[in-house]
Structure 1
Amino acid sequence: MYSKPTNFIIKASFLSDPQLRGWTFSSVSIGLLLGTIPLTFMNRLGTKKVLAIYVLTGCFSSFLYPWSHALGFLPSFIIRTIQGMPGAIILWAINNISMEWAPKSELGFAIAVLSSIYQISPILAMVVAGEMCTTFGWEFTYYGLSFATFISLTLFLIVYDDDFRKSRYLDQQEKEYISLGKIVKKETENESIPFSQVFRDPQAWLVWYMYFSFFTGMYIFLQYGPIYINMVLKYDIRSTGYAAALPHLISLALKIFYGNSTDDLCGLGMRVRMFLMFALVELISAFCLLSLIFTTSDFYSLFIYVLFNTANSLAVIVIMKQIQLISSQHSHFLANGNTFIVAICIFCAPFVVNFIVSENTASQWTMLFSGISAQLISSVVAYGLFGKTKPSTWTELSSLSQEMK
């Protein structure tokens, strides 16, 4: 009997299939992982050109997504994978822009400002999505954000210069201030990354472990925290939404103060200052998780949830600054390594969480919280015992070999 050939373009109803829906959501993390690969070798093109390539990729893929969704699973999967690739530029851009434009004495402040996109973006996206979906339809969320992204990229390309010394928006005094304590590359200088030395350096692995611990806690709570609030604490959907958004607002308000404190805190040396600021937020985060295990108060649990997400989100400032301190001109590679970690975590988290919290019981969440808490504490201990704040030998920056004061 004639058998109809399998149609790989499964129509829009594919989202009702749990397996296909799971692959659709995972496609972004696959794209993110793929996006990290060329970044390592594209750094020589300059921040401006690389950012333009990645952001334009995001604009066009987002604009095309409604069309691909209507065609079915395979086109949707491909476009969403391409959509995920520009996400790889975020940490890379935060690192490069702060390295190129911030005075060395204000790196923490610059990273705090740039990393605020992690708070602003979810809030803005939720507001835009809500308005667009209710007024015009969900497709216009993608069209609107694509257009807004294109406009912001255009403004960035007009204002930004890879070499701050060439910027027409800075006077000579500002350029001299930015130059203080910086090693400014020559235009013709393109250093190769000493891969073998980087991978043999415990400092590189330490900073990657710090980021892995930070991001694991942050991502699981941002993704699955609302489920915990709604299904375990039994809060309604509206309360759940406010609780999920509140940490973004509080963190946004605290970031500038926290970033400034990593630059200057009561005259303390760089290493002590960095450790204290990292230990403060990550130990608070670990304490919050342990408190959730023992508390029986739903209101206190909700307070702890908000406090954890607020405190833990600040740790990225220390981690990104630590990368720049130890790797200097090669910091883009270590920042790219963090993005690789992000992709792996996003891809693996659903499987790990579903395995541990299969029935959404309080005891299962306790097990998950205990594991994340132990991981955070271990990262603080490791940084306190082994962390350094001076350039590694493979940077070959003898003029910066003394630890910053």
Structure 2
Amino acid sequence: MVKSPVPVRFLILICATLCLTSILSNMNTYNFTKICMQDDNSTQKVSTALVPLASTLGYGWFLTARIFQGMAFSATFPLAGSITANWATPYEHGVFIGLLTGNTQLSNIFTMPISGWLCSSSAGWTSVYYVHAGVSLVTFTLFFLFFKSDPKEHSWVEEKEIETIGRGKVEKKTSRPKDLPFRHILTSLSLWACWIASFGDLITVQLVSQFNPQYMKNYLDYDVLSSGFLAALPIIFQFLVKLSSGILSDYIKCISETWKTKIFNTIALAVAAGFFIILAFIPQEKHLLAIIIMICAESVMGCNTAGFNKCATLHSQQYAYFSMQQIMNIWACTIFIEPFFVNMIVKDNTFIDWRNCFLAHAILLLFVNTIFCLFADASPAKWTQTLTNSSDSEDVLETKPRYDSCVDTKL
């Protein structure tokens, strides 16, 4: 057995975060390199190592490359939920979810400067895809060689760490798809509260990621270079808030997990809504003030790590991968919905257009946060403590002490 100087669960966390960041970075490459490509029909139809080749072969090959990228992207949230459920101690869910879902911010922090440097170099825009493909090869090779889904299967994990990870958790008997308690999951008010909250959060995230450059350039009248930098700046702050909120949530011991998730979710959604309301009434000539308020609104949304994301994993326990998959599905839906929603409101990039857009999103955030605060429950659901057999009878499993309470235990 190899003796690791740090707990193996944190090495698993870092390894998985790098892989998930790589997946998102590969998807983001086209969003940047399209402004670097030559103005011809083939290069405008392109996606990581196959994208330059696909660009010369035609739209069908490009579409195929993007489909494979989408398939990889669909695994991000289920993997985050599964790793958190299997590897994190009950008091480390915040930091695990913070890093694993922080791949959205990390991918942009990596891709934007690297792509800008490569595009402006003699290597050209095609080198962006080759570099990202090389990084993916390294990270996924490391992942396949080192990662195990269960701590008990990893040769580096000592018995002491296995006990630490399992302390306070429900004993997991099975995770086969046929044993998923679909009826209990789909009738859980707490999970529906998490999913509804995620819809409001993620559709606002799409407003930021898809329309920030338009707001900066067409409304605030910044040039393209400044718009790109200003649109990317809040991502760094949002990631720092996301990670900090996860760590802080785990550190606080004298508030129940349910109340902690409600508090952090309110900061992420209701406080962000307040900033969007302020932003809605800032006149066009107040450029700096508008940018500061926009950064504040986007940054506090990073607290969603310790809000609905953490609540979903704590409540569904060993089925966290399934509950997080639904958040992934909601994310995919918002990517399609948001452009139609915004374009119905913002037609001429006027003050009234953007005021109505920000107010609409603020109202949505306040509504979904109210639903979450009313129905969210971060304690392990009863159905996570049962095992359904082939005859549809349920046997209550032996459970360990609950951790949704004030504790002094230090793991």
Q: TM-score range by the shorter chain?
A: 0.7 to 0.9
- AA aligned to 2:404 is M
TM-score norm. by structure 1 comes to 0.80
Q: What are the Cα deviations for residues 206-264 of structure 1, in whole angstroms up to 9, with x where unaligned?
A: 11111111101111112101210121112233332232222222223333321122224
- AA aligned to 1:388 is D
What is the rounded CA distance, in whole Å, between the counterparts of 2:278 and 2:352 in structure 1? Answer: 13
In structure 2, relative to structure 1, the CA distance for the partners of 1:239 and 1:216 (3 Å cut) is same
Question: Helix, strand or coil: the match of 2:209?
Answer: helix
- AA aligned to 1:332 is Y
Match of residue 352 from structure 1 = 341
Alignment partner of 1:338 out of 327, 335, 339: 327
Match of residue 6 from structure 1 = none
- AA aligned to 1:235 is Y
Match of residue 239 from structure 1 = 226
Match of residue 139 from structure 2 = 152
Q: Does structure 1 conserve the Cα–Cα contact (< 8 Å) formed by 2:379 and 2:404?
A: yes
Determine whether 1:112 maps to 2:98.
yes
Match of residue 40 from structure 1 = none
Match of residue 101 from structure 1 = 87
Per the TM alignment, residue 87 of structure 1 is displaced from its structure 2 partner at its CA by 0.7
Per the TM alignment, residue 360 of structure 1 is displaced from its structure 2 partner at its CA by 1.6
Match of residue 367 from structure 2 = 378
In structure 2, relative to structure 1, the CA distance for the partners of 1:189 and 1:66 (3 Å cut) is closer
Match of residue 185 from structure 2 = 198
- The RMSD of aligned alpha carbons is 2.6
In structure 2, relative to structure 1, the CA distance for the partners of 1:231 and 1:323 (3 Å cut) is same
Q: How does 1:250-269 map to 2 (within 5 A)?
A: 250-265=237-252, 267-269=254-256
Match of residue 116 from structure 2 = 130
Match of residue 43 from structure 2 = none
What is the rounded CA distance, in whole Å, between the counterparts of 2:167 and 2:178 in structure 1? Answer: 22
Per the TM alignment, residue 403 of structure 1 is displaced from its structure 2 partner at its CA by 6.5
- AA aligned to 1:337 is Q
Q: How does 1:382-401 map to 2 (within 5 A)?
A: 382-397=371-386, 399=399
Alignment partner of 2:164 out of 177, 191, 196: 177
Q: What are the Cα deviations for residues 93-142 of structure 1, in whole angstroms up to 9, with x where unaligned?
A: 11111111111111112111222222211111112212222221222211
Which structure has greater helix proportion?
1
Per the TM alignment, residue 289 of structure 1 is displaced from its structure 2 partner at its CA by 0.7
Range 127-136 or range 82-91, more displaced: 127-136
TM-score norm. by structure 2 comes to 0.79
Determine whether 1:75 maps to 2:61.
yes
Match of residue 92 from structure 1 = 78
User: Unpaired segments of 5 or more residues in structure 2?
Assistant: 1-14, 28-46, 387-395, 406-411
Determine whether 1:304 maps to 2:298.
no
What is the rounded CA distance, in whole Å, between the counterparts of 1:98 and 1:198 in structure 2? Answer: 18
What is the rounded CA distance, in whole Å, between the counterparts of 2:203 and 2:176 in structure 1? Answer: 37
What is the rounded CA distance, in whole Å, between the counterparts of 1:200 and 1:166 in structure 2? Answer: 33
Question: Helix, strand or coil: the match of 2:75?
Answer: helix
What is the rounded CA distance, in whole Å, between the counterparts of 2:94 and 2:106 in structure 1? Answer: 18
Q: What are the Cα deviations for residues 30-62 of structure 1, in whole angstroms up to 9, with x where unaligned?
A: xxxxxxxxxxxxxxxxx99xx99x97xx89x72
Q: What are the Cα deviations for residues 51-93 of structure 1, in whole angstroms up to 9, with x where unaligned?
A: 99x97xx89x722222222122232223212221111111111
Q: Percent identity?
A: 24
Q: Does structure 2 conserve the Cα–Cα contact (< 8 Å) formed by 1:391 and 1:401?
A: no
User: Unpaired segments of 5 or more residues in structure 1?
Assistant: 1-46
- AA aligned to 2:302 is S
Match of residue 204 from structure 2 = 217
Match of residue 291 from structure 1 = 278
Q: Does structure 2 conserve the Cα–Cα contact (< 8 Å) formed by 1:327 and 1:392?
A: yes
Question: Helix, strand or coil: the match of 1:105?
Answer: coil
Match of residue 404 from structure 1 = 404
Q: What are the Cα deviations for residues 321-348 of structure 1, in whole angstroms up to 9, with x where unaligned?
A: 1111221122211111111111111122
Q: How many residues align?
A: 353
Q: Does structure 1 conserve the Cα–Cα contact (< 8 Å) formed by 2:86 and 2:151?
A: yes
Q: Does structure 2 conserve the Cα–Cα contact (< 8 Å) formed by 1:259 and 1:317?
A: yes
In structure 2, relative to structure 1, the CA distance for the partners of 1:233 and 1:77 (3 Å cut) is same
Q: Does structure 2 conserve the Cα–Cα contact (< 8 Å) formed by 1:214 and 1:316?
A: no
In structure 2, relative to structure 1, the CA distance for the partners of 1:166 and 1:82 (3 Å cut) is closer
- AA aligned to 1:74 is G
Question: Helix, strand or coil: the match of 2:112?
Answer: helix
Range 314-323 or range 188-197, more displaced: 188-197
Q: What are the Cα deviations for residues 282-311 of structure 1, in whole angstroms up to 9, with x where unaligned?
A: 222101110012222221111011111111
- AA aligned to 2:298 is N
What is the rounded CA distance, in whole Å, between the counterparts of 2:251 and 2:178 in structure 1? Answer: 31
Alignment partner of 1:139 out of 103, 126, 129: 126
Per the TM alignment, residue 183 of structure 1 is displaced from its structure 2 partner at its CA by 3.1
Match of residue 23 from structure 1 = none
Q: What are the Cα deviations for residues 134-185 of structure 1, in whole angstroms up to 9, with x where unaligned?
A: 2212222112111111110111222222121332333333332222112353
What is the rounded CA distance, in whole Å, between the counterparts of 1:358 and 1:166 in structure 2? Answer: 56
Q: Does structure 1 conserve the Cα–Cα contact (< 8 Å) formed by 2:91 and 2:250?
A: yes
Per the TM alignment, residue 391 of structure 1 is displaced from its structure 2 partner at its CA by 2.7
Q: How does 1:160-171 map to 2 (within 5 A)?
A: 160-171=147-158
